[in-house]
Chain A
Amino acid sequence: LTFRAGTAVAVCVLSVASVARGDDRIDIGSSFFFEPAGQQKLIVVTPQANASVDAGPFGFRFGYDADIVSGATPRTYSKIDAMSAATQFSDVRHAIHGGLEFRHGLVTVDGGYTYGFEKDYQSHVVDVGARVDVFNHNTTFALNYSHNFDKVCDADNRGLQPLQRTSLASSDKCFTGTIGLVDEPLSIDAYQASWTQVVTSIFLFQIAAGLEVLDGFQSNPYRRVRLFDGAAEAQESEPTLRQRMSVTGRARFAIPQLHGALAAMGRGYWDTWGVKSFTGEIEADFRLGGSFILRGRGRFYQQTRALFYRDAGEALSYESVGPVGQYFTGDRELSPFRDYLAGLKFAWIKSAGPSGRLGYLFSDVDLHVKADAIHYQPLTPLPPNLVRSQSFLGAIIFQLGATLKF
C-alpha cells in the first residue's frame, strides 16, 4: 500500500518537474526493477511516456506511466519462517497526468493534475508551483504544493478495535460498492521550498526543504500480524497521521579540464513515526568525445526504525507482548536498515545544430541506458529483514530511455 501511495507522490513530483524549457520534447523510457529476496522476489516494470510543448509564454505537459508489479510477499507477519507462507500477487497501476505552465518575466507558475488507479487504490493529485529567477539568473527560488485525494480499498472494519480488524482478502470487488468492502480516504499535503544559487562559473548549489502531511489509512490492508503467541491475528494497525520533514543540499562542480562534472547530495529526514534517515550521494559525469556521456554514482542510505515497529523475532515482539499502544506493523520499510547503491549510465546524444534536423524531424536525440545495483544491510537480521540478508545483491535496476527534441 505504501508502495502505491509513494507512487502517487512520485508521479506528482514527475508532473511538476517534467516541463522542458524553450523546446518541444518527448521522453519515453522504461525501468526494470528486480529484487531477488529468495522466494519473496519482486519484479516491477515501469514504462513511461511524457511530452511537453511550448506555445509562447505557455507550456503544456502530459504523460502516462504504469507499474506492472509481480512477486510474492507474506500475508502474515510473525516469527515463523515467512518465506513458506509467501503469497503470489500481481497488479498494474496506471497514471495519467497533464499540466500547464505560464512564464512572465522572471516568474514562472505552473499547475497540474494526475489521476492514478489500480485495483485497490485510486489517486487524484493536484499540484501548483511558482519559481522566480533573479540576479542575472544566478538565483532561483521555488515553491511547490500538491494535494492527494486518495482512496484505499479495505475490508469493512469500521467501528472495530485494532485487534478485531480483519485483512482484505482480495481486490477483486474493490470500488464496486460491494457489502463488506469500504473505501478508506488518505489525503497527502506536500510542501516544498528550494533555493538554487550559481556561485561561480563552475559551481552551483541547491538547498531544499520539504514537508508532507499524510492523514488517513496508511496500513497495508492485506497484511496480518500475529500477536500474543498466536492468540490474536489482526490487520496491521498504523497511525493515521504522519508528518514527514526533510532538508536536502546538492552541489555541482564543473571540471573543464576533464570535460566532466562532480555532484554531491546530502539529505536528512525525520518524521512523527520516529523514522530518521540520512542519504548521501556522489556522482561523476564525463563527456567522451562529442556524442557520449558516461556517469558513475554511489549512494548511501540509512534509517532508524519507527517507534512502534518490532522485529518478529525480538524479545518485545508483538507476538510476545502484544501491540505498542494500539499499533503493530509488519512493514519492513519501517525497520532499521541501510543500503548502498552503485550505478553506471551511458548516454549517446546527437544535436542537429542550429540549421538542420535529424531524420527531418528532431533537433536533438538522446538515447541512454543505465544500471544500478543495491545492497541491503539490515541492522536487525531477524524477520522480516532476514530475507534481505540472503544475497549480496539486494536489487538491480535497469533503465532504457530516449529524449527527442523538435
Chain B
Amino acid sequence: MRAVILFVLALAVAGCGRYAVRPDEKEYLADRIMQLDYDTQEIAADQHVLSNREGSSGGYGTGGGGCGCN
C-alpha cells in the first residue's frame, strides 16, 4: 500500500513538472556538469573501490538527469 501511495505521489509530482521546464529553457540543464552520471566509467570505478572497502553496496541510482533528453 505504501508503495502504491509513493508511486501515485511520484506521478502527481511528475505531472506538476510536465510544463514546468520547456525544451528551450534547458540551457543550464543540458550542461554536462548538471548530468547525474556524466562519466559512467568514473562512477563505476568509484563504486568498485568504495563498495569493496565498506560493508554496503548498490542502489546508488541510474544515469540521466540534466537536459532530460536521454
Question: Which residues of A are in contact with B by a Cβ distance under 8 Å?
Answer: 2-3, 6-7, 9-11, 13-14, 16-18, 21, 27, 29, 31, 33, 35, 44, 46, 48, 50, 129, 131, 133-140, 142, 144, 190, 192, 194-202, 204, 206-212, 244-248, 250, 252, 254, 256, 260-261, 267, 269, 271, 275, 277, 285, 287, 293, 295, 301, 303, 306, 333-335, 339, 341, 368, 370, 374, 395, 397, 399, 401, 403
Partner among A192, A254, A335 whose Cβ is within 8 Å of the Cβ of B59? A192
Partner among B17, B60, B63 whose Cβ is within 8 Å of the Cβ of A197? B17
Partner among B29, B47, B70 whose Cβ is within 8 Å of the Cβ of A13? B47
Q: How far is the CA of A137 from the CA of B42 in the complex (A)?
A: 25
Residues B36-62 near A (CB distance < 8 A): 36-37, 39-62
Let me know if B61 and A208 touch, CB within 8 A: yes
Contacts of A138 in B (CB 8 A): 14, 17-18, 20-21, 68
Let me know if B33 and A6 touch, CB within 8 A: no
Let me know if A139 and B14 touch, CB within 8 A: yes
Partner among A29, A194, A247, A267 whose Cβ is within 8 Å of the Cβ of B45? A29
Contacts of B69 in A (CB 8 A): 21, 133, 137
**Chain A proximity mask over B5-26: 1 for CB below 8 Å, otherwise 0:** 0000010011101111111011
Residue of B nearest to A29 (CB): B41
Let me know if A370 and B42 touch, CB within 8 A: yes
Let me know if A2 and B39 touch, CB within 8 A: no
The 7 A-B residue pairs with the shortest CB-CB distance, nearest first, are A210-B59, A246-B59, A14-B44, A208-B61, A10-B48, A137-B68, A254-B28
Contacts of A2 in B (CB 8 A): 52
Question: Which residues of B are in contact with A by a Cβ distance under 8 Å?
Answer: 10, 13-15, 17-23, 25-29, 31-34, 36-37, 39-70
Let me know if B55 and A306 touch, CB within 8 A: yes
Contacts of A142 in B (CB 8 A): 62, 64
Let me know if A271 and B56 touch, CB within 8 A: yes
Partner among A13, A200, A341 whose Cβ is within 8 Å of the Cβ of B20? A200
Q: How far is the CA of A14 from the CA of B60 in the complex (A)?
A: 12
Contacts of A16 in B (CB 8 A): 62
Contacts of A333 in B (CB 8 A): 52-55
Contacts of A48 in B (CB 8 A): 41, 44-45
Let me know if A261 and B33 touch, CB within 8 A: yes
Contacts of B14 in A (CB 8 A): 134-135, 138-139, 195, 197
Contacts of A33 in B (CB 8 A): 49
